[in-house]
Amino acid sequence: MRDFFSLQLKLVPDLIHVMQRRLHVLRNIYLQQPIGRRSLAASLNTTERILRGEVEFLKEQGFVRVENVGMSLTDEGLTTLESLESMIKDLYGLSEYETKLQEILNVKRVIVAPGQSAMSDLDKKELGRTAASLLLSVLSEDDIVAVTGGSTVAMMAEMMNSGSSLYPSVLFVPARGGLGENVELQASHIAARCASKLGAQYRMFHVSDFLGAAAYEMLQKDPYIREMLTLIRSAKIVVHGIGQAMEMAIRRKAPDEILTILKNGNAVGEAFGYYFDQDGNIVYRMETMGLQLEQIKSARVVVGLAGGAGKAKAIDAIAKSGLMDVLIMDESAAKGILALYL
């Protein structure tokens, strides 16, 4: 099929440009649906007159639905979008990035989404959609799925689309207690959002992530805490964000002595309260209510999710720690990691 497509490109060299343009229209409709023609034209930096022809073509093909509330993709349109993107990924080198990064980072599977999610809301939605698609592909009945907090994992929940499939026996749980940040970015809220989209169950974990040793020991005796920790630590699928070490420590209001440990230990990445240096070694571990390293490693699938060139060193460090089976990142992060090895 790829050989046939390559031959088509030689015979019709402008084919790729037409495909790319229509893919761009489909992608923007999907990420912003329902959307009006004027708003879509502004998003694509084109005129309504030029856009009208493309929309009419896509509508005639059964890819786009036009209603009073705006345009949206049909099921066939979404399927076509996903099929075209795999071809475009090959043509623009994203598949090559994935192969190289799998070898460099020794991760079973690396998925690279196009764009710069730290700079573009639409690219962040695309990264979230990519993660949501991966999660649905590995989800099984009766699974317990643990999710962490953060804006990128929250976007995965926002972009979740199960189609006609529902998962009433799947349970979503937060991987840890709250960070004291925006409610929408907390793990409990994200677990509830994912469950709502998939017709699944969820449990919230009402406990602070800021715990001293004494409080940590005391709370583990509470029946509710014990029950929740048992569920969380039984997760078969784990989806987690990746943070920059010092940034996450400051967000968690770590005392100066901990910041000094992280600085002296050259910590660059953080996940689940563990702080790692560039070689993937643990520099420091915070006492947190939630998943511990041993339970993470026993999960069936562990998915790491991050975007932005600024997180390249952090992603590289967490990958080296062996915490992930699947690593999903955006194009800018992929380029940033590859630059570390040039």
Over residues 180-235, the pLDDT tens digits come to 567 788 899 999 999 999 999 999 887 766 666 666 677 777 788 888 888 999 99
Average pLDDT of 55-62?
91
Q: Determine how many CB atoms are found less than 10 A away from the CB of residue 330.
A: 29
> Which sign, positive or negative, has the C-alpha torsion 297, 186, 203, 221?
positive
pTM for the whole structure: 0.86
> Is residue 15 scored above 60 in pLDDT?
yes
For the chain, the average pLDDT equals 87
**Residue 207, phi-psi category: left (phi > 0), alpha (psi -120 to 50), beta (remainder):** beta
Q: How far apart are CA 39 and CA 282, in angstroms?
A: 47
Taking every pair of Cα atoms in the chain, the longest distance, rounded to a whole number of angstroms, is 72
β-bridge partners, 269: 244, 276
Structure-block tokens of residue 81: 């979008």
> Which sign, positive or negative, has the C-alpha torsion 139, 140, 142, 143?
negative
pLDDT of residue 209: 63
Full set of structural domains in the chain with CATH: 2-89 (1.10.10.10), 94-340 (3.40.50.1360)
β-bridge partners, 206: none
- What dihedral do alpha carbons 119, 24, 134, 4 form, nearest 10°? -130
pLDDT level of residue 35 (50, 70, 90 thresholds): very high
Average pLDDT of 249-257?
86
pLDDT of residue 312: 96
Q: What angle do CA 330, 104, 138 make, to 5 degrees?
A: 55
The residue with greater pLDDT, 61 or 19, is 61
Average pLDDT of 239-261?
91
R_g of the chain computed on alpha carbons? 21
Structure-block tokens of residue 29: 């409709």
SS (H, E, C) the chain: CHHHHHHHHHHCCCHHHHHHHHHHHHHHHHHHCCECHHHHHHHHCCCHHHHHHHHHHHHHCCCEEEECCEEEECHHHHHHHHHHHHHHHHHCCHHHHHHHHHHHHCCCEEEEECCCCCCCHHHHHHHHHHHHHHHHHHCCCCCEEEECCCHHHHHHHHCCCCCCCCCCCCEEEECECECCCCHHHCHHHHHHHHHHHHCCEECCCCCECCCCHHHHHHHCCCHHHHHHHHHHCCCCEEEEECEEHHHHHHHCCCCHHHHHHHHHCCEEEEECCEEEECCCCEEEECCCCECCHHHHHHCCEEEEEECCHHHHHHHHHHHHCCCCCEEEEEHHHHHHHHHHCC
Structure-block tokens of residue 274: 């563990």
